[in-house]
C-alpha cells in the first residue's frame, strides 16, 4: 500500500516537471523565435521528445 502510493507521487512529479520545462522555453526549435517575436508556439511530440515549433515551422513538419 505504502509502496504503491509513493510510486504514484513520483510519476506525477516527473510528468509535471516535463510539462514545466517544455513550457518555460517557448521558442521554435528551428528558428528560435518565440512569443515575444509575434509567433505562436506549438508543441509536437517527435521520436526524440517534445519539440516546440513556431506557426511557420509547425506546418512544415
Ligand atoms: Zn520557426
What's the 34 CA to ligand 1 centre distance in angstroms?
8
The pTM of the full predicted model, rounded to 2 decimals, is 0.55
Q: How far apart are CA 60 and CA 55, in angstroms?
A: 9
What's the 3 CA to ligand 1 centre distance in angstroms?
44
Three-state secondary structure along 4-23? HHHHHHHHHHHHHHHHHHHH
Q: How far apart are CA 40 and CA 1, in angstroms?
A: 45
- Using a CB cutoff of 5 Å, list residues around ligand 1, an ion: 28, 30-31, 54, 57
What's the 14 CA to ligand 1 centre distance in angstroms?
28
All three cell numbers of 40:
505562436
Model pLDDT, residue 30: 94
Number of domains in the chain: 1
pLDDT in tens, the chain (61 residues): 556 655 655 555 655 555 555 455 589 999 999 988 899 999 999 898 999 999 999 988 7
**Domain encompassing residue 40:** 2-60
Amino acid at each position: 500500500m505504502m509502496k504503491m502510493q509513493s510510486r504514484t507521487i513520483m510519476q506525477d512529479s516527473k510528468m509535471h516537471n516535463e510539462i514545466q520545462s517544455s513550457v518555460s522555453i517557448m521558442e521554435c526549435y528551428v528558428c528560435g523565435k518565440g512569443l515575444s517575436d509575434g509567433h505562436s508556439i506549438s508543441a509536437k511530440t517527435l521520436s526524440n521528445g517534445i519539440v516546440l515549433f513556431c506557426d511557420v515551422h509547425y506546418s512544415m513538419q
